[in-house]
Structure 1
């Protein structure tokens, strides 16, 4: 470990902030104005930040410091080997520097062989031999330099790349497109998060990297073995971050063991793998055998990097990689498997195994200190105590993190000594027992929350889980915060609850210990074998508080009896997806807080089913026609999810649900009406009616929902109007009504002072369709009459909080956008693509926070008014009637990107461009006369210029 500076940093685990995505190395003499120029144009056209040397008169001297800096700051280096490449000392010095960056900072290096044989590059034969004959004479006193050039050429030629003579039958355009497609795949991939404090990672990654031998062209499987908590997954993620750009495709598949225990779990992971590598959606894998065939057929020619994390059975490996030879993948592919089972790696046929090492004492003390003190060494007066803790805990990173986090809030010496005394009674290196100390230190409520999460709520939305836990009386706001603080759970970027596998296993083991031999006497049941046995044999007892059984794969076709629940009087959490139950529903627990029953088999919920304490009712994909036939008073219900209930005709009477907060009716295709009583839901904050495509009207009472924050109407294709009193919904922040038949918003919308996002994209009612028919009857956009339409809304006045506005593809004509557009003082993003107006209101210049303006495919738009100085991105592609740009374009000091492709009438650009400009695209602007003054653009920031076919 390096003792200088911040010891928690890691060159392998932390993503490097690249300035350029691609650096082009090429010979000026024979490719600058031909192949390399076309390649550069294609890369920039694809939005890839590419650096090339603009100096056409390279002198035969050492490469400049500016060039060295550009190489070091580039994520990928593309080397165009042409016949004269080796003749240039500059090119050869570039190549040596590039390969140095490959070794030191993990830069990806990809060779392109342009009418040269790779063997000529590798052996310095052919034209390369002639070049080196001259170098040997010219640099006879610098033999080491010439030798370094030869070595670099040999090393680069052995890398995987592209050979024009073997790809696309020599067609350069197709060859270039293939290169661009593969580069796009690489730059669109993002590194994985490794750890908050990646102590000791570098040395371990280096050892695994040696075993992988990336330069070898064989297909190789590497195993990373070790006990739980030793850091196998962390090492695998760091290796993945280091290498994934060097492959045609890559995928990191987490928690293979856990996923294989879920219905269709391996098939879902196969989908994940294929999407990661092929970047194609809708590759639905319904069963593993189908996935095996698709992986074998689609990936057999690709050089891939695949990480299978936490594998414990041979069949799991075979679902992704086939047999021991791994002949499903192209040459140079690497498979990394992490497992606790050393025997498994032998069955798989792993060539090399890395035994994950525990941290040494210094590393352990550093990691412990990072979590206990938020510093990389102990604070004064706690050095000896910290060393004592580390000696007992050992070098297991997870245990150090958990124990350190548990001590973070403890600042008394007595508390620390108490913890150390407890550690002395734990057998050394028994991590489950060490972790158990953190569990034992929790109060009873925190323990219940932790066990519920471990057994039922991993990967569930944190807010949804909190509602259920609150209904159980567990005070989750405080409890979850404390568990996060103690590193016992985490919350990811999507606000989902997560746990380390070892901590999850610890929690489940604690439940298992309640009754090792009789599952029906445990508090929580999650393993499908145990659950089915308990239900099938009526073994459930009073201690059971939670039970889940997902039968989506139809593992159990015979209906079970409600008698199985007769003795489960404390049951509060129940998930029985796609399960058939026969008998009286009166036998189910009266203490249920969460009922998740996807595929609910009945047309209505029986009146005998006691749901009085229910907080969350989730019956998606049900056969429900009427939710319940008799009036129900459910004072505790906060979430009702009836999504994809294709038989649902109408909603229930909502008067009996006074505390409902979320109502989800997505894709209820037969739903014709929303009950008027919805107006009584004064606590409703989320209403989703997406794709209810038979819904024609909303009840006026919906406007009484003064707490509603999010209203989604997207895909309600028959919905023509919104109630006039919509403005009464004072808390509304998001209104999404894409793809509806709405032509005009009510006047009262200006009262929505908290509205932040408004989207009507693709809304085409009868009026807008008539505009389109009239418009399309004219031969060209400019011949069409100046259509004046009724404004989509009368005024923007009052929408002071609006940040995002999307009126794209609504066939709006002149006058449809109010002239007081400038009153939207908080607007940051405006999307108006695909409309029929000729101009925009001049008041757009008053939008002092507007950063993104998109008006693509507005064929009649012939001018833009002065734009606000805050604008960062302007996208106005295919505006074929546009003749001139805004007069103040050169003064837009924050403008970074401008896209003006496919203009047929644009004759000129402003004389001076803003110095902030980084990307300018004017492809296929056939009438453009002359180019602007590029001297006004700061050279370091301006990296994209597209002018092909001008």
Structure 2
């Protein structure tokens, strides 16, 4: 049933059920921007179609200026009326029998026509109330008599302007009200047209700073199958800051005019963390779809679903649910998708693809990936220079900075804004920081949301990959994690679902540069003052310093050390006495010497880069009881190496023997 069905019963202004107090009929002069300007002859239509249309527009949050003749006192009022006309986007002249007897109506109409000549996008929607449109167009019938009087009171040029305005607007396609019982239905049509135009400007993204958005829009639209009469759900997923919300808004802007009602529900995850979060989201959807400033009280989640089923689901709707996580049970917010009217569409954005797969198929999912270097530069220029190209002398610096962002739109915007109007010295210093994997705090906060939601074991796997294992074989690392109780099968899947890692064609771990930098930053923050007290060390100077100290226990779990030259550096077993938590050691051009029988009890993965011409490895008694991976594939290890005899448990041994 149309929401406006039976609207003609609202003609009595005392009807409080409309939701607008009777006192609001006489509004003050305009003090802000309006969207719709109603031009009418008060005595003819004030309590008829004008009243009906105005009340619905105001109740449904469309800013409407009502020109009440009772407020017109002298010529001083005219500048305010002109201001209201210039602020508005849509004009609804309501022609009635005595319309031309009002000089105010005619002056406003001429100003509206003049405004449309010079302002693209202005729309005039005429209503002919109990008058023939041809009488308006040709100034015949009651308009002929009115203009006889006008010719005696006003100069010829003014009268001709009014005639031209009536002729122009009278020729437009409009609505003819021939009887009062048609007012409700025609008001419904007029309102629908008004909304179809205004809805295009709701949730508008700043288009002057969007880059390469069209391909994303088309990819999402293709998955939406807008020609289908079925109810469809499309998912957009990717890491934080990759542009999911921007794409969803851009799609909304593009297609919202094709739907009867729309709602963009942002920050779903954040809202659900609040008290009565589900009810808040339900109120938002009901308010948007029904276009109400206030919503009837919702006493429970089930009550909200009932109201949505009874009052919302009957419309062909477009609903965007942005930033949904695994705690977001959409059926508790909306009810069943299939209960909505044919042709309805839902777009859901999430960092977690598993969440999306609970209510839609894989062919309806769209993964957002990082921008190309060319597109990254374009977006960066817009924020760093407010231009489409760099300032002279900043070309190379810009390219170098962009190379550190991994094509992440959030980082490009944040870094570009940070460097805006700064000198080259500032740029070069910041570039040096970015090249050392330093992230701006605003970027860290966004990316940390996904990391913070992980369990302990998944966090350890994420940090291992970020700091050491990008490019490593997935199965190889899984042996270590399984033996450490990190449950790699399920937790690697979790990381994949949340777009925190990827698996390449060669079964190797891959990770977005900014996520890799996030992992490095997380480890840095474990101990800012003393790097040797962190869980992971990959910096060679820090590694060598750690091994040169023989005091105090260390919490280091994973370590990479390199002698820094092709001449192997000797490392005695005493250097490893305090590394009781070490489970991964990657030693390159490092010659291990001494008895390791009671050392490294938690070692799972031992990677030794040993070259015969660098000297003889004197490591003996390798009693690493929990060792699962002995990686010697980059080593020239002889058959008579003394370390073989005490290897107790090795799940996989990669050898290159010469």
Larger helix fraction of residues: 2
The TM-score range, normalised by the shorter chain, is: 0.3 to 0.5
Of structures 1 and 2, the larger Rg is shown by: 2
Q: Which has the higher contact order (CA 8 A, sep 6+)?
A: 2
